[in-house]
Amino acid sequence: MVMEETEENEFKHIHKDYRHHALADDHSRIQFLREPLWINYPKTVEIIELLQRLLDQPKKPRMQSLLLIGESNIGKTSLIQQFITNNKDYSEEDDFEESHLIKPVIYAQFPASGDEKGLYIAIIEQFWTPFRATESAVRLRHQAIHLLRECQVKMIILDEVHNLLGSTAAKQRILMNVLKNLSNDLLIPIVGVGTKDAAMILHSDPQHASRFDVVNLPRWELDKVFLALLLSFEKKLPLRKPSMLKSREKATALFAICRGNLGDLHRLLIECAICAIKEETEEITLDIINKHNWLKLTDGIRNRKS
């Protein structure tokens, strides 16, 4: 009863689903801060809804696919993981009461090697089934397609698709044709995820460009939407005092360090919250933010301070 009153009276700045974390000991709170954290905001909602429409689209000879691009650490992979969480694997029984695994979405890393065999292996590995890497590309393709059909896969998502740019122009054409054929044979969309450079892959062939819509996950601007994002973050931080992150001084200081990069903002806020717990301030002060100015990227390098 006392615990419930404490939550109601003292932790109104925290979302009700997270208030109990503020009552934990310091070690537990810091461990919680280091766990993955998902923040919904309008652009991610828009993209996840787009992905869901692609997943649910009726099968047809030419399935529309998607290329999701953005700078490193901008939140692309977290967005994809949230979409996959919304479309988890499940089991289904057939007429003979035998259970079959259904995998609506397959998520794989585009191979650094940028070759056809590497792509098939990356897909097969998601099924946790034996395979021989020494097999020919033809045999691996046959196994990959069999598994994709057997598990009724409705979408293939390939992260780090910009790895393809490290291949020769000839290899790029081969891999893009492989993706096109997979989509045609299985009647499913392909979603590529990568840096902005990945869009260059589509410039070489109008046919490939017409199959892939391109969606950009941009940097944030210092505006009302960014302030709303800070408020959303604060509601999930297990600090016992309100930090008022959306105040002009703090929001400006945070933006100056993260420069509109969502992943950098996330790390900055976690580091600041941990510091607030260790220093027993229980709020992210302007001094704490400035103390973590080293998190600002300079020429792609961070010089960490103890």
pLDDT tens across the length of the chain (306 residues) = 344 445 556 799 999 999 999 999 999 999 999 998 888 888 899 999 999 999 999 999 889 999 999 999 999 999 999 999 999 999 987 766 678 899 999 999 998 877 899 999 999 999 989 999 899 999 999 999 999 999 999 999 999 999 888 888 888 888 899 999 999 999 999 999 999 888 888 877 777 788 899 999 999 999 999 999 999 999 999 999 999 999 999 999 999 999 999 999 999 999 999 999 999 999 999 999 999 998 886 555 556 665
pLDDT for the residue numbered 295:
85
The C-alpha atoms of residue 122 and residue 126 are separated, in whole angstroms, by 7
First-to-final CA distance of the chain:
41
pLDDT for the residue numbered 57:
92
Q: Pairing between strand 105-109 and 155-159? A: parallel
CATH 3.40.50.300 intervals, the chain: 42-216
Torsion sign, CA atoms 75, 77, 81, 86? positive
pLDDT for the residue numbered 2:
42
The C-alpha atoms of residue 160 and residue 197 are separated, in whole angstroms, by 11
pLDDT for the residue numbered 244:
97
Strand order through the sheet with 65-69: 105-109, 155-159, 190-194, 65-69, 212-216
Residue whose structure tokens are 């694997």: 89
pLDDT for the residue numbered 1:
39
Domain 42-216 class, CATH top level: alpha beta
Q: What is the pTM of this model?
A: 0.87
pLDDT for the residue numbered 270:
97
pLDDT for the residue numbered 252:
97
Angle, in degrees to the nearest 10, between helices 248-258 and 224-234: 90
Q: Say if residues 32 and 15 touch (Cβ distance below 8 Å).
A: no
What is the largest distance, in Å, between two alpha-carbon atoms of the chain?
A: 69
